[in-house]
Amino acid sequence: MTPALAAPAAQQTLSLSEAETQKLWQLSRLAAGASEASALALSGLLLDLPKAVRTALLEFAEGSGDSGFFLLRGVTLGELPATPAVHHSGALRGHPTDGTLTLVADLLGSLVGYQDEKDGALIHDVHAVPGEEKRIENSGSVAFDFHTENVHHPLRPDYLGLLCLRQDHEGVAATRVASVREAVRHLTPEQVAVLRTPQFYSSYPTSFTRGRTGPVPRSGPHPAIFGPEDRPFMRFNSHTTHAADAEATVALKALSEALEAVCHNVVLEPGDLVVVDNHVAAHGRSAFVPRYDGRDRWLRRFYSVRSILGWTQHMMTRQRVIPTMEDIQGVL
């Protein structure tokens, strides 16, 4: 059964005016060839962003509120090729949407990639790939349950953005967003106390282990909920986070159920960009049926971090790309 669809609250959404749309498109075209340049090199373009866009995104970054997500509507997409059916097709390399996502990511923090994931790509194309329908990553089309991005990683993204280029054919696939700040209201104090203890382990996701042989490594122990009582944060992946004992396992199940109870099911339309606070809200995807006819669902994703530690920057072999887990393991 398709879940009921919840429209995001008005204060979580900015619909661009025609003038704002045109301005953002002009700046995106200028930034498109500079995704791997430093944020300093793009600072002039960031200052030229439409005031409403700058204000809304900076206010979201300063305090993402209870919902943990923000929706920007009316982004220009330009001409698009057929939806790819292979990994890393490069079909949109240098496309203005590269610039759009780079500018938004750099306004929130800094656009980054991970050397272990997709060879350090900074912009990820999210679409189904034939034969991978059941994979729990962006090449699949089955339901993808709640997760915070790169839950295993000590340098997890602070924000991620998903820009819709095409919907699925039926127009039913939802980006599912659920905030721990809303979910804790459905948990008992005892459950929250257990979830705050460092007794959880998170396996590396499949996007970080593609081609790897042997046991899947894991990170931990870590808490699933942390931070101030009135403004908690979350580190949780329903597919890969596991508990150390039976009591903690029950608490994790309760957290999953609480996230389901407060979920916002957002059906993105072409030109919609949803930005998620990765420490406040988990996200997921409802199932859809790809046809592999060049018109399938296609999103583009960015990661943004608010600050990059100095030692991390000096270890980067490529601008903006976080070093491998092997290189940084044990440092954090």
pLDDT band for position 7 (cuts 50, 70, 90):
very low
Are 177 and 245 contacting, i.e. CB atoms less than 8 angstroms apart? no
Percent over 90 (pLDDT), the chain: 77
User: Residue 178 belongs to what H/E stretch?
Assistant: strand 175-179
CA-only gyration radius of the chain, Å: 19
Mean pLDDT to the nearest integer, 200-208: 91
State the pLDDT at residue 135. 73
* CA–CA distances in Å: residue 167 to residues 65, 161, 232, 248: 28, 16, 33, 38
More confident call, 262 vs 310: 262
Are 25 and 103 contacting, i.e. CB atoms less than 8 angstroms apart? no
Are 99 and 32 contacting, i.e. CB atoms less than 8 angstroms apart? yes
Average pLDDT, the chain: 91
pLDDT band for position 309 (cuts 50, 70, 90):
confident
Query: What whole-number distance in Å separates Cα of residue 142 and Cα of residue 136?
Result: 7
Query: What whole-number distance in Å separates Cα of residue 292 and Cα of residue 171?
Result: 15
Are 166 and 298 contacting, i.e. CB atoms less than 8 angstroms apart? yes
Token pair listed for 255: 């957290």
> DSSP character for 237?
B
Residue 152 has pLDDT above 70, yes or no: yes
pTM: 0.93
